[in-house]
Amino acid sequence: MSESSGATMLEPHTPVHLSSTPHVITRGQGVTVWDADGREYLDGVAGLWCVTLGYSEPRLVEAATRQLERLPFYGSFNHRTNDVALALAEDIAEIAPIPMGRTFFANSGSEANDSAMKFAWYYHQALGRRQRRKILSHRCGYHGTTTAAASATGLSHIHAGFGAPLPGFVRVHCPDPLSPVARDLGPERFVDWLVQELEELIAEEGPETIAAFIGEPILGAGGLIIPPEGYYQRVQEVLARHDILFIADEVITGFGRTGSMFGTTEFGLRPDLVTVAKGLSSAYLPISAVLVGERVCAALAEGSREFRTFGHGFTYSGHPVAAAVARETIAILRERDIPGRVRAAGTVLANALDKFRGADGIRDVRSYGLLGAVEVDPARFGVGTGQVGPAVLEAAAAEGLLLRAMGDTLVLAPPLVSSDDELERMVDRLATAYDRFR
Ligand code: PLP
């Protein structure tokens, strides 16, 4: 191991002024990772919600190696592509949760979301609705950090220091069942309230100026928010009435995490475009995609007849090695019925998390599939918002557990291949860490 201080790397989502060395992970096996000092951790958050098949799936390594040896790269511009990207698009079409037009490949969730928003613009331009530019999203939504994805992201820490988001990005209330208004109104009237807010906002902005609404089926980085039942259905009715496209950001929920292959199916949504990343390749290589629905795709085709070009795409769109890994990931997800396994494992996780219910200082416990959250009330400890989460995170690391803290919400998003015993051990370690913090 070299004794690097990490001083040359500008670390993502890390204050630049920090002078301490970062925590360095050097090895992984199954759902366990080891750091540079040899300490062992259960990875309760699958890297960054993404290593769905764990850290040592030999089939993914072999798929990458075989492809590296055969054709390490060929791009996809100007009607020339590689065989693996085409085959992956076919694989995706087989399992897609919407009537498919085509699949566009990118390299990250942010790029997929930027692309989807641009496709919404192109769609409306193709239909002659040139004013339709605005993008609606949630105040607690996270869609990435490229320029448009960051602008659609509502979380304020993503904007601090970078100035205001781009104009034309408009936010709606968070569908958070724990928000004060939700608590006042109760679940059904809360959905009515959210829908009315959306209607009013659309009227105020002018429906003829709005291109699309982007939303996560379960909102991840905003604090694992599970919208109230029927919320997205009602939102979709409003959007459809105003010819506003719906983009489902399935970067977290795609590829098994909720117990279905896609959150879109799990929650009965009908998006026009679906964005995926993370679990598409179990994060072994970077690849993301936009699933472009039939109707949007038909308009893109019409548009490109008129514009004579489709000026969008990346050098690495459909990278063959990443595509080979993604193909193998999908094959494994299907062969081993990983979504089915997630449904069973989700019950194990939910039961294990029950030990937090009613415990001192716990505001809420929630889970869906292999997403789980324990929300702590900082007021109980006499500290400000956002201070408990990081402290418990540190205590958890000392107990041999890695997880995420979204403010004071501690989030588990373990690999989908975690055993029952591993899930229970993760929650036990979290409980010990919380007790130590208290
Ligand atoms: N969308 C969602 C829902 C995400 O959770 C993330 C990342 O966590 C992104 C988009 C951005 O993905 P990336 O970091 O690959 O750009």
34-65 residue pLDDT tens: 999 999 999 999 999 999 999 999 999 999 99
Residue recorded with tokens 């995706």: 92
Average pLDDT over residues 100-122: 98
Q: Ligand 1 center to residue 250 CA distance, Å?
A: 9
Residues 392-418: what's their mean pLDDT? 97
Q: Whose CA is nearest to atom 1 of ligand 1?
A: 143
74-101 residue pLDDT tens: 999 999 999 999 999 999 999 999 999 9
Confidence bin at 6 (pLDDT 50/70/90): low
Task: Judge if the beta carbon of residue 110 lies within 6 A of ligand 1.
Answer: yes
pLDDT, tens digit (0-9, with 9 covering 90-100), for 200-210: 999 999 999 99
> How far from 410 is each of 158, 180, 305, 365, CA to CA, in Å?
19, 20, 50, 10
Check if 113 has its Cβ closer than 6 Å to any atom of ligand 1.
yes
Residue nearest atom 10 in ligand 1 by C-alpha distance: 143
- Give the SS3 label for residue 106: strand
Neighbouring C-alpha atoms within 13 Å toward the C-beta of 368: 20
Give mean pLDDT, residues 156-178.
95
Tens of pLDDT, residue by residue over 342-385, are: 999 999 999 999 999 999 999 999 999 999 999 999 999 999 99
By the 10 Å C-beta count (0-12 exposed, 13-18 middle, 19+ buried), 168 is classed as middle
Quote ipTM for the complex: 0.99
Residue 245 CB less than 6 A away from ligand 1: no
Q: How far is the centre of ligand 1, averaged over its atoms, from the C-alpha of 358 (Å)?
A: 32
Nearest CA to ligand 1 atom 13: 109
DSSP letters, 46-60, are HHHHT-TT-S--HHH
Cβ neighbours of 311 (radius 10 Å) = 8
Q: What is the pLDDT of residue 164?
A: 84
Mean of pLDDT values over 408-420:
98
At 209 the pLDDT is 98
The SS3 of residue 34 is strand
Written as one letter, the residue type at 36 is A
Pocket flag, ligand 1, residue 109 (CB < 6 Å): yes
Mean pLDDT across 293-322: 97
- The alpha carbon of 285 and the centre of ligand 1 are apart by a number of angstroms equal to 15
**Rounded distance from Cα 288 to ligand 1 centre (Å):** 10
Measured from the Cα of 278, ligand 1's closest atom is 15
Verify whether ligand 1 is closer than 6 Å to residue 220 (CB atom): yes
pLDDT value for 269: 97
pTM of the predicted protein model: 0.97
Q: Choose which residue among 114, 137, 143, 174 to substitute to test ligand 1 binding: the one with the highest number of ligand atoms within 8 A of its C-beta.
A: 143
CA of 116 to the centre of ligand 1 (A): 13
Alpha-helical segments (H) within 284-383 = 294-307, 320-335, 338-353
> Per residue in 252-304, pLDDT tens?
999 999 999 999 999 999 999 999 999 999 999 999 999 999 999 999 999 99
Distance (Å, rounded) from C-alpha 311 to C-alpha 289? 17
- Read off the pLDDT of residues 8-23 as tens digits, 9 standing for 90 and up: 899 999 999 998 899 9
* DSSP string over 136-179: EEETT----SSHHHHHH---GGGTTTT-SPPTTEEEE----TTS
**How much of the chain exceeds pLDDT 70, in percent?**
98
Cβ-contact 276, 291 below 8 angstroms: yes
- Asked if pLDDT for residue 2 goes beyond 60, the answer is no
Evaluate whether 319 touches 333 at the Cβ level (below 8 Å). no
Distance 53 CA to ligand 1 centre (A): 18
Model pLDDT, residue 189: 96
Distance 435 CA to ligand 1 centre (A): 31
Integer angstrom CA distances of residue 33 from 48, 58, 61, 345: 13, 16, 17, 21
CA distances from 188 to 62, 137, 174 (A): 50, 21, 15
pLDDT-based confidence at residue 1 (cuts at 50, 70, 90): very low
**Residue 222 predicted with pLDDT over 90:** yes
Dist. CA 137 → ligand 1 center (Å): 14
Pairing of strands 401-402, 40-43: parallel
Sheet holding 169-172, edge to edge: 100-106, 288-293, 273-276, 245-249, 210-215, 134-138, 169-172
Contact 251, 276 (CB under 8 A): yes
Whether 285 lines ligand 1, by a CB cut-off of 6 Å, is no
What pLDDT is recorded for position 5? Answer: 53
Which of the four pLDDT bands, split at 50, 70 and 90, describes residue 4? low
Ligand 1 centre distance from Cα of residue 275 (Å)? 10
pLDDT band for position 7 (50/70/90)? low
